[in-house]
Amino acid sequence: MKKISIICPIFNEQDSIPIFIDRMFKVIESFKNRYEFELLFTNNRSTDNSLELIKNYNKNESRIKVLTLSRNFGYQSSVLSGLKYVKGDAIFIIDVDCEDPPELLVKFVKKWEQGYDIVYGIRKKRQESIFLQIMRKIFYRINKLISDHEVILDMAEFSLFTNYVKDLILSNQNTFPFIRSEIAYIGLNRKGIEYDREKRVAGKSN
């Protein structure tokens, strides 16, 4: 049976974790044992109760795992650490604040089953001011113009890709990895799925 590894970067997300796990496991159960799953929380040295909370979940659910970094290395390094650890046939990256809805995993997997190497979310709308939305669009479009490599507009790390893609990302060994740029650089057969970003379910953005 093929395995799907879910990488969940966290930093001080104790209030979001229970809500996320509940939603994520409802999605997992909807696959009706078609795949094996593992959830790896990459803990970027949280200072709240996030680590203890995940350890408690692990006592009753072996599919939940946690990898704690020695210090706060930042979001990108947290994701990269997870990529080095997981062994799934497909890897799904998602934040636990649920701004990127866990339920979209169903659509991502469907596109993967159709033969796409990379499936990623395209953010149509955000729960933020119009000013910030416009500034984000301007920033990424300028970045696209000046970049030496391809930039996928309105994309984030919210994505699913094959183990082969994971190995290509890790083989680049960049000093300052930027996962979404790595995905764009790799190319291969990819598909974007539009969605509206939701409000954070709990806590504050870090």
Per-residue pLDDT of the chain (206 residues; tens, 9 = 90+): 999 999 999 999 999 999 999 999 999 999 998 999 999 999 999 999 999 999 999 999 999 999 999 888 888 889 999 999 999 999 999 999 999 999 999 999 999 999 999 999 988 765 556 666 556 565 555 555 555 556 665 677 899 999 999 998 888 876 666 677 777 777 788 899 998 888 887 866 65
Q: Which of 40, 39, 24, 33 is nearest to 2 (CA)?
A: 33
CA 114 vs CA 51, 106, 190: distances in Å? 37, 13, 11
Task: Confirm if 203 and 15 have CB atoms less than 8 A apart.
Answer: yes
Cα gap 10→7, rounded to integer Å:
10
